[in-house]
Structure 1
């Protein structure tokens, strides 16, 4: 699509412009209305403004290229958690143009303009989301960074930021204050939420996806409506009757309320969490002497019960502080609480406190590395077992990771045991357990009274499979060979039964006791 030319004096839009001069003044009594009608509105070059809006809201190759570049910079900044890189994406994002164009289209009641700018905006959004999702999909880094998390919980303040920024942006567009647009682009941050939507899509994280999408829709709707209001204020659009003006005001109010109610609830939740942090700090401080210091306090508000982790630097160790603190926190917060309390005993001297702080920081860093190692082990086991990471059971204290594998085409029990051995070699500090499907057990071949080399391997495989699955085993045959297999299975702690049957080749059949 090519850029739209400036409307001529003969177009319907230009005729509507002339009919709107002084519309605001007729609604405002006194000298202010006369001044606005006679001085401010005539000073605006309406046709030039509309031509500029049309130019910046057109779906052109330049627009598509800048969308892709801005989206790429934004998603890399989010993955690296670099505010400077994210700001760079905001500065070159062209999304503000079509959104303001949409607002002007609503002010002009121009269906063609609304459809054109909406298509431009939809095309840019689709390009940005798909491109960022593609980058994240192939990226080795898929962790939720602070920059990503900051855009998943929009609140009422985000709506107000978008409102004030939109008023400034529309004013800059109408009055020709070009430099203001740069600050508005940073304030509204249209591209980073879209990049976060792409991250949520690529990682199938619904919380991130819908949270960032709500933030973008909030910015979009607020900017468009505020731009429409500013355009009407400066004389853009047809003359409306009092009834039409009332309907328009009701629609605008309803749109703001539809956005403000859920965002207001989110803001109240954030405020409650902030109060809970302060209350938890005060409650824990009461459990220790006045010289004690709370070095760290973290609350997991998504868990039930709430998980509170705290580190205290205290000159006097309190054995019952965790129990008393947990009860006091439950009473203060009004919700069940599980308290994890670490106490570092220090002297009253400043040097002792500083040494304890260093020890506490070292312990936190060690715990953080431990959590990262647990997450990595879970991801590795999930990939090899063909399951989601949530299906992996990890016991950090016992250094044990366990997962039930999905059936793989053509795979045997030996295949699953080889996969477990591969995982164990990759993480030697962990005990890796891969539970295989109950596939057919091998028969045990003998040479005299002892199993052959292949038979010994098959017997070890049967013992491994029975241990992992926890199922009972049937052993066929009679005589010394059958007794040998029965004895080895029982010594391994496996429940066994003997059915007396024997294979024609003399091997001992072993199968599951279903």
Structure 2
């Protein structure tokens, strides 16, 4: 009974194998393997054109990265000088041709060295040396970058074998390789090993993934079909081990980024919930997580200052995130109707106070002028010319020619002045002056005549 029921399924499986075998045979027969291999050999050689394009591409890339200009970086991608040697490296692994592999590696190393030297020279000569967002984006490779490189390699191998869309695939390959290589040059030039190391890991990840993907697509189209079983096992082992070794750290990096993103989103939600209670809003927020510690930098817009907000937010975030939190919280008052009314009232009060100060100053000035007039009348009748300083409460008496006062006379003048206006001082000078004038602001009276001297 089992034999009868198993026979149709066996025939179906056999027909499926024949179908796929026949289809793959047609695919393999439709490819001119000799022509493809000749094209691959020519494209992967170290030529002056290749060297020039590698240098120019990396130069454009580093200038775009320093300016944080995505458009300029895309311009560097369009040149795609590393396409030939990478494709040749993948084909050499497929057909197990070590001479071709050596040629591809020489071209790659020479292109990388020249590109790095060009990038470092530009950074050394450039006044712009700050790490831009375009640079930092290529220092933390993840599993997604590996997938981009795999898809680029598969598309590149297909385009080379079928001779369709090489330029478009060249862009994809350059996207995965030239900008990280330029960032490596930047990191070496500024002495930042963290940036250089991260970008180099991304560069090598993409290079190996693209080359191995080209190997897989070339194998599908019948290249290396005459390889021995040992070669096939060796190829499979190299591909699997390489992808596993790349995928583990990249997967961990992707997990860390996902964890950081989740933490930042959770912190934002908790902060916004707290600010909603205070009728405020987030103006700027930055959340960073390192080693089970979260750093929060927050600027919020609030209608009025909230006392103890930083401590309250710290406690809420630590309870929600289950991690230690350090927070910097700055509050900005928003221009609401109440605040505008308060500011308007304050401006009106200031204007009123300024007006009162002006009136008081005028009253003091008038009072001072009245006192000065009385003192002047008193002393002028007795001694002649006088000068009065209203602000300093000081009287300067200028004796007439030939007039002298002894100490008793000066004391008598002081007593008379004290009776008229207490708190004033008197100074007697012997030289005559022209006439006295009174400054409208209460400054010392200016006189004309000879230079006065102290009376004996």
TM over 0.5: yes
- Three-state SS of the structure 2 residue aligned to 1:287 is helix
Q: 1:63 aligns with which of 45, 50, 53?
A: 50
Q: 2:297 aligns with which of 309, 326, 336?
A: 309
With over 3 angstroms needed to count, the CA separation of the structure-2 counterparts of 1:182 and 1:106, relative to structure 1, is closer
| Superposed counterparts of 1:277-288, under 5 Å | 277-288=264-275
Tell me, in whole angstroms, the C-alpha distance in 1 between the residues paired with 2:270 and 2:38: 62
Tell me, in whole angstroms, the C-alpha distance in 1 between the residues paired with 2:274 and 2:126: 47
Tell me, in whole angstroms, the C-alpha distance in 1 between the residues paired with 2:292 and 2:255: 19
Q: 1:262 aligns with which of 249, 258, 273?
A: 249
Instruction: Indicate yes or no: 2:161 matched with 1:174.
Output: yes
Q: 2:320 aligns with which of 327, 332, 336?
A: 332
Which TM-score applies when normalising by structure 2?
0.67
Contact 1:310–1:341 (Cα < 8 Å) also in 2: yes
Structure 1 residue 330: Cα displacement: 2.5
Structure 1 residue 347: Cα displacement: 6.5
Tell me, in whole angstroms, the C-alpha distance in 2 between the residues paired with 1:184 and 1:177: 14
Structure 1 residue 315: Cα displacement: 3.3
Aligned to 1:289: 276
- Three-state SS of the structure 1 residue aligned to 2:285 is strand
Tell me, in whole angstroms, the C-alpha distance in 2 between the residues paired with 1:218 and 1:209: 14
Higher relative contact order (CA 8 A, sep 6+): 2
Contact 2:60–2:76 (Cα < 8 Å) also in 1: yes
Aligned to 1:442: none
Aligned to 1:156: 143
Tell me, in whole angstroms, the C-alpha distance in 1 between the residues paired with 2:112 and 2:79: 15
Contact 2:152–2:169 (Cα < 8 Å) also in 1: no
Q: 1:130 aligns with which of 113, 117, 136?
A: 117
CA RMSD of aligned residues (A): 2.3
Structure 1 residue 243: Cα displacement: 5.5
Which TM-score applies when normalising by structure 1?
0.60
Instruction: Indicate yes or no: 2:203 matched with 1:216.
Output: yes
- Three-state SS of the structure 2 residue aligned to 1:29 is helix
Contact 1:168–1:180 (Cα < 8 Å) also in 2: no
| Superposed counterparts of 1:339-488, under 5 Å | 339-346=327-334
Deviation readout 1:13-54 (Å, 9 max, x if unpaired): xxxxxxxxxxxxx9x8231111211x2111111111111111
Contact 2:80–2:174 (Cα < 8 Å) also in 1: no
Contact 2:83–2:173 (Cα < 8 Å) also in 1: yes
Aligned to 1:443: none
Structure 1 residue 285: Cα displacement: 1.8
Instruction: Indicate yes or no: 2:62 matched with 1:75.
Output: yes
Deviation readout 1:48-87 (Å, 9 max, x if unpaired): 1111111111001111111111111111111111111111
Q: 1:93 aligns with which of 58, 71, 80?
A: 80
With over 3 angstroms needed to count, the CA separation of the structure-2 counterparts of 1:203 and 1:64, relative to structure 1, is same
- Three-state SS of the structure 2 residue aligned to 1:92 is coil
Aligned to 1:201: 188
